[in-house]
Structure 1
Amino acid sequence: MSSNSADAPNPGPTGTGNGPAVSRREFDALFEAVRTWGRWAPADRGAWNRVTADHVRRATAGVRSGTVVPMALPWNTRPGPDNRKPALHHMTDLGDVEAPEPSTHKDFIAADYHGKGVTHLDALCHIVYRGQLYDGRTAHEVVDAAGARFGAVSTLGPLVTTGVLLDLPAALGIRWLEPGQAVHAKDIIAAEKALDVTIGEGDAVLLRSGHVRRRAELGAWDPDAASAGFHVDAVPLLAERGIALLGGDGDSDVRPSPVDGVHSPVHALAVAAMGVPLLDNLDLEALSGATAEAGRHEFLLVVAPLNVPGGTGSPVSPVAVL
């Protein structure tokens, strides 16, 4: 792994690169081990059923300074290696004065948001593994051209819980994880110790790899080809802790995938097996600074997806409140 520190080599998480490799048989066994099908009602809210009113009250009670930190990337209309389907934004009304007053300015926005350029939430209907959605629903029976009749983003509503920032670069004393670097279960445990934080039931876990900082300093690259993220061997620990939401400044998966024939294995495990929605493409740089200043890596997390009946997810603008 190359150095990204002016003072010392980057030790990175334990291990090197995106390995170890995982066979499809081993992955399928892991899928079965973390699967929570049949556990909750309503099933299409999946692991979000863990977040009760008591969880929300505890999360809000943890607010101290009242500092609000936004975590959404800017609306990105410029094509690049990490934005192959740029978002759209154009003006539809430039304020021409017509009686009666006042005049107006109006604009149009749109995005094919499931990619690398837009901060978004993945709903449970977004991921299909072996032809099935979460809870064993057959994909072709519940999803069609009109949208999804199970696991749609509209069933989730606003998501409010305790967020935990796993700030790996801060824990390791480096600037960022290099693209292609896997984060393992033992790295999560080490980060918890270094950051004095513990992931609990109903929490949202956000992984900071330093992706946004690296891009700002070195330029864009293709994160589909190489990005830091969780190795599949980290998922049983997250399942054991009972998380309700998973996200990061990438899309949670280390790339290249360590699993033969599965391009997004953490997506499959989290969404299709565990019923855990995902937050992709967060900007966690300001939150990293705010949590370091506060000396705490827990916060109130608020995510309000658009109410799109049948939608597979939504662009979002999450906020952390410390």
Structure 2
Amino acid sequence: MCMACYVDEAMKSRIIAYNAEFHKVTKSPYGSDDEIGMLNLIDAESRSAIMSRTDPSKVFDLSVDHFIGMPGWFGAGDQPYQIWMTHTPQGEIVANAMGVTPEANKLVGYSGDAISMYTHCGTHIDTFNHFGYNGEIFNGFTAQDHLGSRAWQKCGPEKYPPIFARGILLDVAALHGVDTLPPSHPIGKADIEGCLKKQGLSIKPGDVVLLRTGQMLLWPDKAFASNTPGLNREGAEYLAKHGVIMIGADNLTLEQTPSAHQENFFPVHTYLLAEAGVPILEMAQLEELAAEKVYEFAFFGACIKLRGATGTPMRPVAMPLR
């Protein structure tokens, strides 16, 4: 174990990964009603600690735009991002949806629009009901008892608190001296410890860890979405057992694709969400942070509260530390 990332025995009791069993859903040490997993480490003390160190003079926006034709996870036939106008100034003069006078429609230029998309489009967070094992999700909630006709009744993003935490960036591409990691490159323990040593960092319980693969340099080309370099299960276990509360990356799926495991097509998703209680952040824009070598920062992010959803957009930001 990396000595700079030592976890004491008292903290281990609060780290869900230490209760995990391979390919089994983990019962939360935070109680039978727990739906937020490792986000339980966020409290008034931890928020105050990071905010007291935050330098607000610069803000790094870690999200991507949503637009028609954007890359995304559509391998299972899900809805790509679409936007359309529901009202236009000229259209209202003709249609008069508001039932007002022609003079009013000419005076007031009314525009409105609507969107449709898979909840895992763009920069977003994956919730614990996204993946599980054998009809169960994190903490033993079951599809039989907790999945309705429209949405899960447990572990939706509306339960997640706003995330205020120390963030660290591990620039794995830079570790290997490349702009973008090769397709399907697995990020395991050696890469993580190599980045920590090179960047002079340590992982602390309560951290948000972001992995840079360099994939955002391919955005928004189709190559962004195929054969992604990313975290493997070994790397996921290493981070989870050091008490991180969320893991994110600049790629499509966080994890290496295609899967190296014959029976599990998303081994990192299932491990983090169902076994370790660690939410996932995908498609984070990390290029500006990496270019300025800001490896430690205050991370702030909040979900759109889509009740019962398996994922939801997030617009995370980072600020340097004093």
For 1:265-280, what aligned pairs fall within 5 Å after superposition? Answer: 265-280=267-282
Equivalence for 1:263: 265
- How many residue pairs match? The answer is 284
Report the 3-state secondary structure (helix = DSSP H, G, I; strand = E; otherwise coil) of the residue aligned with 1:58.
helix
Aligned to 2:14: none
Deviation at 1:79, TM superposition (A): 6.3
Residue 83 of structure 1, CA deviation: 5.6
Aligned to 2:118: 112
SS in 2 for 1:187: helix
The counterpart of 1:39, out of the listed 12, 29, 42, is 29
**1:224-243, Cα deviation, whole Å (9 max, x unpaired):** x5111111111221122101
| Residues 178 and 279 of structure 1: CA distance in aligned 2, closer, same or farther (over 3 Å) | same
What does 1:78-227 correspond to in 2, within 5 Å?
78=69, 85-96=79-90, 99=104, 102-114=108-120, 117-215=121-219, 219-221=221-223, 223=225, 225-227=226-228
How far apart in 1 are the matches of 2:287 and 2:212?
8
SS for the counterpart of 2:113 is: strand
| 2:295 aligned residue | 297
State the 1:209 CA deviation.
0.2
Find the residue that maps to 1:160 and give its secondary structure. strand
Q: Secondary structure at the match of 1:162?
A: strand
* Residue of structure 2 in register with 1:64 after alignment: 55
Cα distance, 1:144 vs. partner?
2.0
1:249 aligns with 2:247: no
- Which structure is larger by alpha-carbon Rg, 1 or 2? 2
Give the Cα separation in 2 of the matches to 1:213 and 1:72.
Answer: 14
Q: CA deviation at 1:95?
A: 2.6
Q: Displacement, 1:29? A: 5.3
1:37–1:274 contact (8 Å) kept in structure 2? no
CA contact (8 A) 2:26 2:274 kept: no
Maintained 8 Å contact 1:165/1:298: yes
CA distance in 1, matches of 2:276, 2:192: 19
Quote how far apart the aligned CAs of 1:90 are: 1.6
Query: Structure 1 residues 31 and 56 mapped into 2: Cα distance closer, same or farther (>3 Å)?
Result: farther
Paired amino acid for 2:161: G
Per the TM alignment, residue 264 of structure 1 is displaced from its structure 2 partner at its CA by 0.7
The 8 Å contact of residues 218 and 224 in structure 2, kept in 1 or not, is answered as: no
Unmatched 5+ stretches in structure 1: 1-27
Shift of 1:31: 4.6
Question: Aligned equivalents of 1:37 and 1:47: distance in 2?
Answer: 12
2:287 to 260, 285, 288: 285
- Whether the aligned pair in 1 keeps the contact of 2:246 and 2:278 (CA below 8 Å) is yes
Q: Secondary structure of 1:169's partner? A: helix
Query: What displacement does 1:65 show?
Result: 5.4
CA contact (8 A) 1:246 1:277 kept: yes
Q: Equivalents in 2 of 1:110, 1:131: separation in Å?
A: 28
Matched, 1:316 2:317: no
Task: Give the unaligned 5+ runs of structure 2.
Answer: 1-19, 94-102
SS in 1 for 2:223: coil
The answer to whether the 8 A contact 1:306-1:316 is kept is: yes
Q: Which residue of 2 aligns with 1:240?
A: 241
| TM-score, normalised by the number of residues in structure 1 | 0.81
Aligned equivalents of 1:314, 1:182: Cα separation in 2 = 26
- 2:35 is paired with a residue whose SS is helix
The answer to whether the 8 A contact 1:76-1:118 is kept is no
Offset, 1:263: 0.7
User: Distance between the aligned counterparts of 2:218 and 2:310, measured in 1?
Assistant: 30
CA contact (8 A) 1:82 1:220 kept: no
1: distance between equivalents of 2:259 and 2:290?
27
Q: Distance in 1 between matches of 2:59 and 2:280?
A: 21
- SS of aligned partner of 2:291: helix
TM-score with structure 2 length normalisation? 0.81
